[in-house]
Amino acid sequence: MKIDVYFSPAQVDEMQLREKNVVVIDVLRASSTIVAALHNGAREIIPVSSVESAVKVSGNLFGDVVLRGGERNGKMIDGFNLGNSPSEYTEEAVKGKSIILCTTNGSVAMVRARYAKNMTVACFNNISSVVEFMEEINDDFSIVCAGQQSLFALEDAVCAGMIVKQLSDKDSLMLELNDAAVTAHVLYKTYNKNLLKMIKSCDHGRYLAGIGFEDDLKLCAEIDSVATVPMLAGSVIKVKKEAMRPSVGNPLGTTAEAVAD
Ligand code: MLT
């Protein structure tokens, strides 16, 4: 199994991810939010890369079964129902809803992977379940860290390193790692004793704490708090077992092209 880690989506384009198996990581906070939303019964997540697309895709179902979530500078976007804090995506708020998600880095990275053969979303909260899914697929994977404005983000790299570590512990797998995957593994070994401390001290963690989201850091540092594996099905992200069903309609009738902005 070849594992290629990319520390920023800027290092890889849509065509390089086409027909690949892809894991997108945005620990702070889009991946953690998606995992929370699906765990709490959201019907699906539709990642988009601009506010304009979010408005276009939500159309006239907005506010009923369709919610808009996301952030700019970490804060809820005007006219949206939800921000990008996993704590907002409670069962009461999201059960049965389609959520159009627009975030600065995370949803953009997911849109970039929209032509992947298999695309899943990882964070510390669902990491062992994602690793099991990778073992099941037993094929090469690209791990794309959402990073921060095309730059390296420590928390995503450490999460990628934890995936590498868990895969390398599996006797059934023979891994071939690119240099970034080796580096991510080294970073994981450096920081694994106190992930919360790492998250609190990284650039985006400090920023989020500064704008009042310190509690999110604790939530996002939890390892294996849920077993949800999100999976791209067409242009929507669903819980894996639903995504694998042969026909997966969605009330918006979106296609990959519809969100290709
Ligand atoms: C992003 O996509 O950049 C984020 O998830 C930012 C955040 O809300 O913390």
Check: CATH 3.90.1560.10 for 2-244?
A: yes
Q: Which two tokens stand for residue 214?
A: 């310190």
CB 133 within 8 A of CB 124: no
Sorting pLDDT into bands at 50, 70 and 90, what band is 251? low
With a 6 Å cutoff on the Cβ, whether 28 touches ligand 1 is yes
Does 69 sit in the ligand 1 pocket, CB within 6 Å? Answer: no
Query: Per-residue b/e over 32-51, b at no fewer than 16 CB within 10 Å?
Result: bbbbbbbbbbbbbbbbbbeb
9 lines ligand 1 (CB under 6 A): no
Mutate to test the pocket of ligand 1, among 8, 31, 71 (most ligand atoms within 8 A of CB): 71
Q: What is the pLDDT of residue 260?
A: 45
pTM of the model: 0.94
pLDDT value of position 257: 38
Q: How many Å apart are CA 102 and CA 58, to the nearest integer?
A: 12
Instruction: State the Cα–Cα distance between residues 229 and 125, nearest whole angstrom.
Output: 10
Residue spans per domain, the chain: 2-244
- pLDDT tens-digit profile of 23-79? 999 999 999 999 999 999 999 999 999 999 999 998 877 777 999 999 999 999 999
Sign of the alpha-carbon torsion through 56, 62, 67, 73: positive
Mean pLDDT (whole number) for 82-101? 98
Mutate to test the pocket of ligand 1, among 99, 100, 102, 104 (most ligand atoms within 8 A of CB): 104
* Whole-number Å distance between alpha carbons of 40 and 96: 9
| Alpha carbon distance 91, 81 (integer Å) | 15
pLDDT one-digit tens code per residue, 181-223: 999 999 999 999 999 999 999 999 999 999 999 999 999 999 9
Confidence of residue 253 (pLDDT cuts 50, 70, 90): low
pLDDT value for 63:
75
- What pLDDT, on a 0 to 100 scale, did the predictor assign at position 150? 92
